[in-house]
Chains A and B, each alone.
Chain A
Amino acid sequence: MEIFGIPLQAMLGQLLLGLVNGSFYAMLSLGLAVIFGLLNVINFAHGALYMMGAFLAWMGMEYFGINYWCMLIAAPLIVAAFGILIERTMLRWLYKLDHLYGLLLTFGITLMLEGIFRSVYGVSGQPYSVPEALSGATNLGFMILPNYRAWVVVASLVVCFATWFVIEKTKLGAYLRAGTENPKLVEAFGVNVPLMVTLTYGFGVALAAFAGVLAAPVIQVSPLMGSNLIITVFAVVVIGGMGSILGSILTGLGLGVIEGLTRVFYPELSATVVFIIMAIVLMIRPAGLFGKEK
């Protein structure tokens, strides 16, 4: 069976790969949006922390023989602790200054993390095998579905919607949203806002690390995997706007799928398509698809 001269099997395969990439975009842009909402900092280090998550998974397996499932929990926790350290010792001093200093600081952290991993492991990728329970593929009749890729999409969707639920539907989320709106007033009501800020940063970077562990078996674990991704995620954030949680998730997934389809129909454009869409969105709806004009 063929669609526009492309075998259906190849197209569905790329579509799934697009969805996988889209779930990484969604998780990373969600973390960026949550952090930006409360801290007013664009966390450039998000990509580096995603890379760190993947590396932790690989290191756990390589040096200690810790399996994928344990690292899926442990790596985000370690990265969250690291993020909390960054927030407490460095980011904290910049809140009263212009936004750009937060970006520059996290940019410096990105360079340092990348530099450290590069000097130890070089630029070539480290292979990480798919966990046994998810290896192999399921034949759905019309396509062969690699189990691991399906798991990545399902797991990230669950995490994204859980985040959405916590922020939009629970009391804790209400504090968070109030803190985003007016931190001084929330503090006056007796909520420990600085603690909330710290934990939010920790949670945001934990999401990045979780995405990193999920990504480890799909792509090769390399020190440069984060910075290549983060710039695309910035474009995703510009397209979607950071005002809406659901918006971030949908934009991330959607762009992943579009990128996957471009890879089928016009491969030369697949690296740039997200940026082209960003340019078009800026011309038509400068505030982003889900953003509010300020």
Chain B
Amino acid sequence: MNKKIAYGIALILLLVAPQVAYPVFLMKVLCFALFACAFNLLIGFTGLLSFGHAAFFGAAGYVTGWVLRDAGWSFEAGIVVGVAVSALIGLVMGMLAIRRQGIYFTMITLALAQMLYFVFVQAKFTGGEDGLQGVPRGKLLGMLDLGSDMTMYYVVAALCVCGFALIVRTIHSPFGQVLKAIKENEARAVSLGYDVDRYKLLAFVLSAAIAGLAGATKTVVIGFETLTDAHWTMSGLVVLMTLVGGLGTMVGPIVGALVIIALEDKLGDIGNWLADVSHLDWFRTLGDSVTLVTGFIFILCVLLFRKGIVGELVSVFGSRRASDSH
């Protein structure tokens, strides 16, 4: 019951948010939140650490951007093609990566994503270092003009809610329970007769497709796609968002994405404020050293807050509720 109220409140917040904050910023947060949720489906609920999710995010962005701009297809078709391509890449990458376990899985996904990155650097249609510029937003179903940020926001919000609902549904389905069993004890899942590799592959493809949805939507929102989205630092960023929010919690990645994107956006201001308070001029350069700050948060999270924001909240309030009932 509580959960339903919480989801209701979140939905209302989602509807009124663009009245308060800048819609493009919110859309960016939504896309990254969906991206992080897709990643969390693997790490939090299947126990697979993929370090190659930028590949799906970037590939879908490039394909959708190209289809909308150069092939002149409609918005819906662009998104569908982007998602399909990233699912296909996920299938190939997954088939190779699930052949090894644990840390090797992570290294393989990282290496394959790097390979795709080099392909994007060399390929003609991506525009190389310049990126793919001037992607038109077009019209939804040929009627609704997406040029207005408000209209676009509600479409993006709807897409992200659908993606999130799909993830929640997957996790609570019998399929999701098998994934959880694989995470807890893979050998036991095998001995119970589950075809573990097939389950892992399906989860991987699903995660890739949803990450693709996030990447495709983001490209349409901001109107261009660059190599940054396919670079390994992007894979690291999505890991960080999930880690900050809470690995394996349902809403953690959303909170994490909001925190990290807001932080990146406001880092310059924070730096100036720190410089004013501490009188250390060095802090003024903070806005230019995003990697330094992300690295620092990474270390802090791994050493001190492994549960993440949502995970810590759950353990504080969860234990209080448990002691209340006694």
Contacts and interface: CB of A to CB of B under 8 A. Distances in A.
Interface of A: 36, 42, 90, 93-94, 97, 99-101, 103-105, 107-116, 118-119, 227, 231-232, 234-235, 237-238, 268, 271-272, 275-276, 278-279, 282-283, 286-287
A97 B96 CA distance: 26
Interface in B270-297: 285, 288-297
A235 B119 CA distance: 16
Contacts of A90: 299, 303
Given A99-B102, A275-B112, 11 more contacts: A36-B103, A103-B49, A108-B295, A112-B295, A112-B296, A115-B293, A119-B289, A231-B111, A238-B111, A283-B96, A287-B100
A42 B298 contact: no
A119 B102 contact: no
The 3 lowest CB-CB distance pairs between A and B, nearest first, are A108-B298, A115-B292, A111-B295
A118 B289 contact: yes
Contact of B302 (A36, A108, A235): A108
Contacts of B291: 111-112, 114-115, 118
B106 A107 contact: no
Contact of A94 (B289, B293, B302): B302
B118 interface: yes
A232 to B, nearest CB: 8
Contacts of B285: 119
Nearest to B119: A272
Contact of B100 (A36, A231, A238): A238
30 contacts: A94-B302, A97-B306, A99-B103, A101-B306, A103-B106, A104-B239, A108-B294, A108-B298, A108-B299, A109-B299, A110-B295, A115-B289, A115-B294, A115-B295, A119-B288, A119-B292, A231-B232, A232-B114, A235-B107, A237-B107, A238-B107, A271-B118, A272-B115, A275-B115, A275-B118, A276-B115, A282-B96, A282-B99, A283-B99, A286-B99
Which of B100, B122, B299 has most A Cβ within 10 Å?
Answer: B299
Contacts of A108: 294-299, 301-302
B73 interface: no
A235 B111 contact: yes
A282 B49 CA distance: 18
Contacts of B268: none
Interface in B20-68: 43, 49
Which of A104, A113, A268 has most B Cβ within 10 Å?
Answer: A104
SS of A interface (majority): helix
Contacts of A118: 289, 291-292
A111 B294 contact: yes
Contacts of A275: 111-112, 114-115, 118
Contacts of A100: 43, 49, 103, 106
Nearest to A41: B103
Interface of B: 43, 49, 96, 99-100, 102-104, 106-108, 110-112, 114-115, 118-119, 121-122, 232-233, 236, 239, 243, 285, 288-299, 301-303, 306
A112 B103 contact: no
B118 to A, nearest CB: 4
Given A90-B299, A108-B302, A111-B295, A231 B114 contact: yes
Contacts of A232: 111, 114
A230 to B, nearest CB: 9
Nearest to B299: A108
Nearest to B231: A227
Nearest to B292: A115
Contacts of B111: 231-232, 234-235, 238, 275, 278
Nearest to A113: B295
Contacts of B239: 104, 107
B139 to A, nearest CB: 38
A237 B104 CA distance: 9
A286 B100 contact: yes
A9 B317 CA distance: 71
Given A107-B236, A238-B100, A116 B292 contact: yes
Given A105-B298, A105-B302, A282-B96, A234 B107 contact: yes
Nearest to A280: B96
Nearest to B236: A107
A231 B55 CA distance: 14
Contacts of A268: 122
Which of B49, B108, B233, B295 has most A Cβ within 10 Å?
Answer: B295
B292 A112 contact: yes
Contacts of B296: 108, 112
B303 A282 contact: no
Given A238-B107, A275-B111, A109 B295 contact: yes
A42 B106 contact: yes
Which of A113, A271, A287 has most B Cβ within 10 Å?
Answer: A271
Nearest to B297: A108
Nearest to B118: A271
A102 B114 CA distance: 21
Contact of A112 (B243, B299, B303): B299
A127 to B, nearest CB: 23
A101 B302 contact: yes
Contact of A278 (B43, B102, B108, B243): B108
Contacts of B297: 108
Given A104-B243, A107-B236, A108-B298, A279 B107 contact: no
B110 A279 contact: no
Given A42-B106, A234-B111, A282-B96, A107 B292 contact: no
A101 B239 CA distance: 11
